[in-house]
Chains A and B, each alone.
Chain A
Amino acid sequence: MNRHHVQRAGFILLGAISLIVVMPILLVVGSIVVRGIGAVNWEFLTAMPRDGMKAGGILPAIVGTLLLTLGTALVAIPIGVGGAIYLSEYARDTWLTRTIRLAVINLAGIPSVVYGLFGLGVFVLFLQFGTSILAGSLTLAVMTLPIIISTAEEALRAVPTEFRTVSASLGGTRWQGIRYIVLPQALPGIITGIILGLLRAAGETAPILFTAAAFFLPRLPHSIFDPVMALPYHLYVISTQVPGMPLRVQYGTALVLLTLVLSLNVLAAAIRSRFRRRRQW
């Protein structure tokens, strides 16, 4: 076998491996679309559930997930990006900042059900927010923070130091350099981190299980102290807790959740490529 053949064999092997990697994703998405598409119609998206959730729509779960994700974003984005700016731009390298960084990395690896218990203890019981959008959003935000902080910090550090020096040499304060030069350059990476974090928050069940989710609540919430239905928890409920649930309702719900999450993903990719074209170094 000459070098040319070896190369060809290598390409075929790598191609096969890529296919194996992509296969499960295609199968999962494909089977959900095929089995769920029949359930999804205007009523399914805009009506309250009826007949013990076996008929009607899933509007409260959609709204609940959107509200929880929005609440998570409102809390996690400012704190996460602020923390990343502090760690990357201001903090000196001391044992304290090294500890913070280590904690952030480790927090990202904690199982989500532990965040759920934490949220139950702190937000639901101790702070007496009850099972509510507020408690759920805060719990999801705590879970999302490490993802946002570590990706945002990495994006900030990737901006060459020289830009900061140049900005300082032109009379800029440290903050002005960050505000006008560093942040705009790091933005695509930061936004990617934010969306990845929010994706995870939108799809998680365990953290909202004890803090926000309602089993069955056929009305829209009136305040942030109301519990809500949420898509992932609703999916869990109708798949395991309700006997005789039509399969297409389950798949329809899964399809809606998947579409929500994938569209966030596509949005992240679009933002990244848009900024990458504008980036000049």
Chain B
Amino acid sequence: MEDRAVKIRIEEVSYFYGSHPALQEVTLDVPARAITVFFGPAGSGKTTLLRLINRLNDLVEGTRMKGRILIDGQDIYAPGTDLSALRRRVGMVFALPLPLPGTVRSNVEYGPRLAGVHERARLDEIVEHSLTQAALWDEVKDRLDEPALALSGGQQQRLCIARSLALEPEVLLLDEPTSGLDPISTGKVEESLSRLKEQYTIVIVPHSIQQAARVADYAAFFLAGRLIEYQPGKDIFTTPRHKETEDYITGRFG
């Protein structure tokens, strides 16, 4: 991490659903233009942490957060933060493909339109560019005005990635983006991620340890709301420093 710029700094973050602590005193730096993986068993707090990075958890009632999250040195929980602007900088892809009602095209255009882009030529450019980045353009370029739900599951998920990319975010968060996909579609999504990391800071909650090992430049292992270990990916999966990490990776629990 020493040789890379820090994009997201998470400082002593604790998070509570009611009185239940979902995260406890988590501190870690996410490097720019690399894939960082948050992994761990269900309920370890990895998805919660992911959703804190673009403040999507603000939509959940009855929660409380301590600590700070900084993007490019700016506290995103500072009062007066423009949430729409934040979420345009920090895109999110969900576990299930969730196309909005409407066509392939209107899904990609949704974000830019809300951001005030209305010029047809510019929108067409954005649609083509984002779909190309998500490795979907060749498959859908003749189907742009079909309903998004007519696409296959794998295509829908790449459409959701394209939809986030359409806003030219700096950070892309992905919450188990391939959990509903077959191996071939999963391969395509992972392939597009590895190209995207040259340009974007990517944080992903993978849907399996194998996937974590495949895509991770850096990997953070979570257990019961605590960060157990954080290392470059090539190290954590071969020589974990902590027993809990090793147990989880080798499949002794989880």
In Å, the complex CA distance between A180 and B109 comes to: 12
**CB closest chain-A residue, reference B88:** A171
Q: State the interface size on chain B (CB cutoff 8 A).
A: 27
Partner of B167, one of A92, A165, A167, A171: A171
Interchain CB contact under 8 A, A166 and B98: yes
Contact residue range for chain A? 20 to 34
The answer, yes or no, to whether A181 is at the interface (CB within 8 Å) is: yes
Is there an interface contact between A169 and B101, defined as CB atoms closer than 8 Å?
Answer: no
CB of B56 within 8 A of CB of A169, answer yes
Is B92 engaged at the interface, CB distance under 8 Å to the other chain?
Answer: yes
Q: In the complex, what distance in Å separates the CA atom of A41 from the CA atom of B110?
A: 54
Residues in A151-186 with C-beta less than 8 Å from chain B: 162-173, 176, 180-181, 184-185
A168: B residues at CB distance < 8 A: 56, 59, 83, 87
| Known A165-B56, A165-B59, A176-B114; contact A170-B163, beta-carbon cutoff 8 A | yes
Query: A280 at interface (Cβ–Cβ under 8 A)?
Result: yes
The reply to whether A171 and B85 form a contact with Cβ atoms under 8 Å apart is yes
Check A170 against B101 for contact (C-beta < 8 Å). Answer: no
* Beta-carbon contact of A180 and B59 below 8 Å: no
Q: Which of chain A's residues have a CB closer than 8 A to the CB of B147? A: 280
Asked if A170 contacts B110 (CB within 8 A), the reply is: yes
| Assembly CA distance A165 to B164 (angstroms) | 13
Minimum CB distance partner of A92 in chain B: B61
**B149 and A180 form a contact (CB under 8 A):** no
| Contact of B98 (CB < 8 Å), options: A162, A172, A173, A176 | A162
- Chain A contact residues, CB within 8 Å of chain B: 92-93, 162-173, 176, 180-181, 184-185, 279-281
Interface residue ranges, B against A (CB under 8 Å): 54, 56, 59, 61, 83-85, 87-88, 91-92, 94, 96, 98, 100-102, 110-111, 114-115, 147-149, 163-164, 167
